Structure 1
Amino acid sequence: MFNLGNFLNLSTFGESHGIAYGGIINNFPAGLEVDLDEIQHQLDRRKPGQSAIVTQRKESDTVNFLSGIFDGKTTGTPIGFTIENENQKSKDYDHISQAYRPSHADFTYDQKFGIRDFRGGGKSSARETVNWVVAGSLAKQLLPENVEINAYVSSVGEIFCEKPYQDLDFSKTDSNDVRCPDAETAEKMIARIKEIKKEGNTIGGTITCVIKNLPVGIGEPVFGKLQAELAKAMMNINAAKGFEYGSGFCGAKMTGKEHNDLFNSDFSTKTNLSGGIQGGISNGMDVYFRVAFKPIATILQPQESVDKDGNSVTVQGKGRHDPCVLPRAVPIVENLAAFVLADLFLINRLRRI
């Protein structure tokens, strides 16, 4: 039910206020020397409580590998792992045990399963993404060393990073709380998020991801197209509302003559409106895409809603919540992209003798 990937496969378990999260990764190749510190580093980038503009829930998010790794190397057997929940405050959700929060999964979960874990949203909580970061940061170690995956916050509300990604220094992405590598724009974004937080409100925006040095030939011709696999992964992220790659929706306003990427003699292209993907397969140019995220549904203001019986109620968020999902979503985007690429790399390897 809760699976990611095709050949390389992740299944997960856990709820926001349960004992732990965890997952099992199947078909991971044997013999890879695992950089455990890098996996923990990626988890630290995602974890709550790291700045004033994210939720103040305190979690170490320490991963514990249970199987599939021996003497620092993968064994080829299923890789099991857990991340304990250490700072639950379930009483913060008692007031919504019978009420449906606007734009949350409360109503749909109740209708689908006939029961729901209202503590932090249960399985619908964004804390589920901790599993994806573990799997993605491990899978990234299967990729060629020169493949670079860099995501950054490209907009918050109406504030946009106007510089093209080619002019940005990705080493500066983590130098500020919002994870935008343009310092001037980052200051404006942070100020806006703080303003929204004081109002008890939330705000959305976009994350751009750039994949460099991806070899030609990654992606399948029909149902496993590279852009489709990336889109599927990204659209599973909580609060994700849209995905575009290359020219995206702007390309719909262009003519074919304007949009076509003409070849150079070395088979690179003069432009890259295709976003590094043609026919669902990487062409050797930079792959770049953008993910749109809605404002988080939990706000600290009263809202009209209904309870399980259809009676009118007033609901208001309590406790610790992100005013903006974007800063913590950057490592989620990067590591999900890495998992998708590793999966497609392994499938591509199976095609060749």
Structure 2
Amino acid sequence: MNGNRFGRLFQVTTYGESHGPGMGVVVSGCPAGLELDEETIQRELDRRKPGQSMITTSRGEPDEVTINSGVQDGYTTGTPIGMTIQNKDAESGKYEPFVTAPRPSHGDFTYSAKFGTRNWGGGGRSSARETVNWVAAGAIAKEVLEHEGVQVKAHVNQIGDVEAPEVSFEEMLEHTEDNDVRCAHPETAEEMQELIEDYQERGDSIGGSIYFEIRGVPRGLGAPRFDSVEARLGQAMMSVPASTAFEFGRGRDARTIPGKEHNDDWEFGDDGDPVPVENDHGGLQGGITTGEPIYGEVTLHAPTSIPKKQQTVDWETGEQKEIQVVGRHDPVLPPRGVPVVEAMLNVTMLDFMLLGGRVNPDRLDGQPGEYDTDYHPSSPRNE
């Protein structure tokens, strides 16, 4: 099975299954000299871990990380960083009815069709549990980027038909973690919470979206065509379990906007270089960063594991059958998806920074750099 590695210079290789002994990730390409400990990684893992609120799965995983290599006396050595997270609360027995009867909209049948076998406990490798590895790797990337003055932040901007108004980057930094939904607009967060609880009581689930911004990115990162920043961000975001759409800048609204309105005029910035006036392209033109904030949105569909009765077939007996998925599952994904999206954005942007020679190892042992929180592009979705 391929497809377990992401990145060019900052490479993330993951392993583990949902109900196996544990999860693991190897991070290669982290510069030497970065101050790093397990507590730094754990802070990010605690944001993703299950059981943190009433609108997440009740699976009791502490998600405690162990750093096994690549760190000496509290600093990275430049060699691969190996990390493991043990699975403590797996209940594989509940998945035995689905060994030959695939759950609707899961990877059960497709994995079996491709490989001739699969780890069926909790979905095995196809489970979103695997993203715990991504968040661990993203925590490292985040530390490096902050020393370069680059910061990523996201929040839940829509659940079902409840959509938050536009919020500033500063508001996302200040309020995203204030509520269980991880929506930076408190009043909308309450509406979202009520909607999620309603679906939860009905034994159903609901989808939503996550808005993100990346600040402090230097101009000139990326390359045309297949190595464009948006192409690589798209790969990262569409790898997130349950993702159905990735947008940047005006996104899908661009289909209704004439060229004269969509085009970004140029003006001279404070440094005398050209800068786009409106940044409607989301910090990217020709696949390369303009130096303006990168912003966009990721859509996640409703969780597929729901307690409502559904129809499937048993490919071993040839029977049509009714099944009911019994277990501990999230009724909505964006709240726990925020740290996952942030992690993959951090990993992707650090890879581009390293490819562009924009990481200075001498800065890693100093204070984090400054990033701009004043500029906020208009959000066409909320106009």
Which TM-score band (shorter chain)? over 0.9
CA distance in 2 between counterparts of 1:247 and 1:168 reads: 21
**Which letter does structure 1 place at the counterpart of 2:216?**
N
How far apart, CA to CA, are the structure 2 residues paired with 1:117 and 1:62?
A: 23
Confirm or deny: 8 A CA contact 2:167 2:185 kept in the other structure. Answer: no
- In structure 1, runs of 5+ residues without a counterpart are none
TM-score by length of 2: 0.89
Q: 2:346 aligns with which of 327, 338, 341?
A: 338
Distance in structure 2 (CA, Å) of the matches to 1:245 and 1:275: 6
The C-alpha deviation readout for 1:101-146, integer Å capped at 9, x for no partner, is 1100011001000011111100000000000001011012221433
1:143 matched residue in structure 2? 145
CA apart distance, 1:27: 2.2
| Counterpart position of 1:42 | 44
Q: Secondary structure at the match of 1:143?
A: helix
Alpha-carbon distance between aligned partners in 2 of 1:286 and 1:12, rounded to the nearest angstrom? 30
Amino acid at match of 2:157: S
| Long gaps (5+) in structure 2 | 361-383
Instruction: Tell me the equivalent position of 2:328.
Output: 320
In structure 2, the CA distance between the partners of 1:164 and 1:258, relative to structure 1 (3 Å rule), is farther
Output the amino acid matched with 2:9.
F
Conservation of the 8 A alpha-carbon contact between 2:242 and 2:302: yes
Tell me the residue number matched to 1:287. Answer: 294
Q: Distance in 2 between matches of 1:175 and 1:164?
A: 14
In the other structure, the counterpart of 2:7 is: 5
Q: Deviations over 1:62-90 (max 9, x none)?
A: 11011111111111111111000011111
1:205 aligned partner: 208
Specify which of 305, 314, 325 is matched with residue 298 of structure 1: 305
Aligned residues: 352
Report the residue type matching 1:288 in the other structure.
Y
On the 8 A contact 2:38/2:66 being kept in 1, the answer is no
Q: Please, which of 261, 278, 281 is the counterpart of residue 274 of structure 1?
A: 281
Aligned pair 1:71/2:73, yes or no?
A: yes
State the shift of 1:350 in Å. 8.2
Once residues 254 and 299 of structure 1 are traced to their aligned partners in structure 2, the CA distance between those partners, rounded to angstroms, is: 39
Q: In 1, distance between residues paired with 2:171 and 2:66?
A: 35
Identity level (%): 43
After TM superposition, the structure 1 = structure 2 runs for residues 212-291 of structure 1, keeping only pairs within 5 Å, are 212-266=215-269, 267-291=274-298
Task: Letter of the 2:163 partner, please give it.
Answer: F
3-state SS in 2 of match to 1:99: coil
Shift of 1:222: 2.9
**How far apart are 1:224 and its partner, in Å?**
1.5
- Alignment counterpart, residue 126 of structure 2, candidates 120, 124, 127: 124
Within a 5 Å distance, the mapping from 1:50-65 to structure 2 comes to 50-65=52-67
Match of 1:174 among 162, 174, 177: 177
Aligned partner of residue 292 in structure 1, secondary structure: strand
